[in-house]
Amino acid sequence: MRTQVGIIGAGPAGLMLSHLLARYDIDSVVLEARSREYVEARVRAGVLEQGTVDLLDETGVGKRMHDEGLVHEGIELRFDRASHRIPFPELTGGRSIMLYGQQEVVKDLIAARLAAGGDVRFDVSDVRIDKFDSAEPVLSFQEGHSSNRVELHCDFVAGCDGFHGVSRESIPRSEFTEYHREYPFGWLGILAAVAPSADEVTYTYTDRGFALMSLRSPQISRLYLQVDPDDDIANWPDRRIWDELHTRLAIDSEWSLTEGPVLEKGITAMRSFVLEPLRYGRLFLAGDAAHIVPPTGAKGMNLAISDVAVLADAVAHWYDTGSSTGLDDYSTTALRRVWRAQHFSWWMTSMLHRFPDDDPYQRQLQLSQLHYTVASQAASASLAENYVGLLRG
């Protein structure tokens, strides 16, 4: 088999890359280890930056997002039992965010690729990357239950297969640098069948730790609590979770948290990770294969989409002109946005969470930062600008 670009991973990065390349009349094959049913049901974050919304619209896959997604024009910050709103449009020249689940973006992209005759292969296994430092890298894999290996010859390989995928592991360790930060807390998240208790995403800082209210639809709420990353979810029956949410989210003005059946729950550790460079030979990394951010800044899927937008343009430029300038600059260009998102996510995380070694001095610094952020138009604008996403260019 032969294609122009072999793509490993049918998440938002891999599918969007295939979709963008098709608009340039560049062929691709997407390989995914899981079933279509699995990837379409894999619930992940759902905050879309303005630039991500615009790209989905520009490329013809935004209709259902507008029909079912929820536009948010701000967020709430709660601390000292008071709520403060950060209004996005007036601080960012009219930009906002969209709440639309990652799995819904994946569904839309899969449907678009299959409708256009795209080659997306699910349930493949034992993917290997060979000769990616040559002019014709080769992907080999097993398809379905067959014991026969398939070879896919490509001009380029895009590793969009996540943090635990084969792409990054295929690069010799001497060829890249990894940057890590492990946070001393995790998020206990629940999905509840109840109408959201707030109109916008709400971040809360308290003596007992961080809490977050978000939503997935007018009928489904997503809520989080800061907990020990090694805690056992069995220690958190539903009643304890709701009691803790009531305590942390409480404010002195009139407001109440509405409870409902918990559909799912789990604890996720918090970490940051960046790999540099994002290229080795003809292998290019994008999305979680290359970087992870804590979810406080709502950047994970948006960074993946941004990566492949840059990569698609670079690949198209190579086919059009024979120039490798865009490919050579891919890592530097993508990482500039990655590190900005890393800093913003670290800043939000550090400002809103309690750390094990906190003392009264540290608490006063956090409260001072929060007061400044909501009182200063410049500070509010900086938060808003980063949250809705940096302009492309």
- pLDDT tens for 370-392 read 999 999 999 999 999 999 998 76
387 is catalytic: yes
Q: Which of 72, 107, 291, 353 is catalytic?
A: 72
pTM for the structure as a whole: 0.95
In this structure, are residues 42 and 107 in contact, taking their beta carbons and an 8 Å threshold?
no
C-alpha distances (whole Å) from 255 to each of 173, 199, 231, 291 are 53, 12, 30, 38
Q: What is the C-alpha to C-alpha distance for residues 202 and 213, in angstroms, rounded to an integer?
A: 5
Buried b (16+ CB within 10 A) or exposed e, 183-204: bebbbbbbbbebebbbebbbbb
The answer on pLDDT for 393 being more than 70 is: no
Q: What is the C-alpha to C-alpha distance for residues 106 and 25, in angstroms, rounded to an integer?
A: 21
In this structure, are residues 65 and 100 in contact, taking their beta carbons and an 8 Å threshold?
yes
Look at residue 215 in the predicted model and tell me its pLDDT: 87
Six-digit token string for 130: 């060979």
Going by C-beta distance under 8 Å and a sequence separation of 6 or more, which residues neighbour residue 94? none
Its CATH class, for the domain covering 5-72+97-179+271-348, is alpha beta
The string of DSSP letters for 137-157 reads -EEEEEETT--SEEEEE-SEE
229 is catalytic: no
The answer on pLDDT for 216 being more than 90 is: no
pLDDT band at residue 4 under the 50/70/90 scheme: very high
The answer on pLDDT for 214 being more than 60 is: yes
Look at residue 42 in the predicted model and tell me its pLDDT: 81
- pLDDT tens for 179-190 read 999 999 999 999
In this structure, are residues 251 and 81 in contact, taking their beta carbons and an 8 Å threshold?
yes
The answer on pLDDT for 217 being more than 80 is: yes
145 is catalytic: no
Closest among 66, 61, 166 to 124, alpha carbons compared: 166
What does the pLDDT average to over 40-69? 93
Q: Which amino acid is at 171?
A: I
Q: Which of 12, 137, 294, 295 is catalytic?
A: 295
Q: Which of 19, 107, 291, 299 is catalytic?
A: 299
pLDDT band at residue 120 under the 50/70/90 scheme: very high
Q: What percent of the chain has pLDDT over 90?
A: 94
What does the pLDDT average to over 155-178? 95
Mean pLDDT of the chain: 96
Going by C-beta distance under 8 Å and a sequence separation of 6 or more, which residues neighbour residue 212? 187, 201, 202, 203, 204, 223, 224
The answer on pLDDT for 148 being more than 90 is: no
Six-digit token string for 241: 């979770």
Look at residue 392 in the predicted model and tell me its pLDDT: 63
The answer on pLDDT for 146 being more than 80 is: no
Look at residue 368 in the predicted model and tell me its pLDDT: 98
What does the pLDDT average to over 277-294? 97
- pLDDT tens for 321-338 read 999 999 999 999 999 999
What does the pLDDT average to over 27-38? 97
Six-digit token string for 167: 């792409």
What does the pLDDT average to over 281-305? 96
What does the pLDDT average to over 114-123? 97
179 is catalytic: no
The string of DSSP letters for 29-58 reads EEE-SS-HHHHHH-----EE-HHHHHHHHH
The answer on pLDDT for 144 being more than 90 is: no
- pLDDT tens for 85-101 read 999 999 999 999 999 98
Question: Hey, CA dihedral for 59, 60, 64, 66, is it positive or negative?
Answer: positive
Q: Which of 203, 205, 224, 280 is catalytic?
A: 203
277 is catalytic: no
Domain boundaries, the chain: 5-72+97-179+271-348
Six-digit token string for 58: 């520009």
Give the pairing of strands 119-121 and 28-31. parallel
Q: What is the C-alpha to C-alpha distance for residues 180 and 276, in angstroms, rounded to an integer?
A: 12
List for the chain the helix, strand, coil content (%; round to 5): 40, 30, 30
Look at residue 145 in the predicted model and tell me its pLDDT: 78
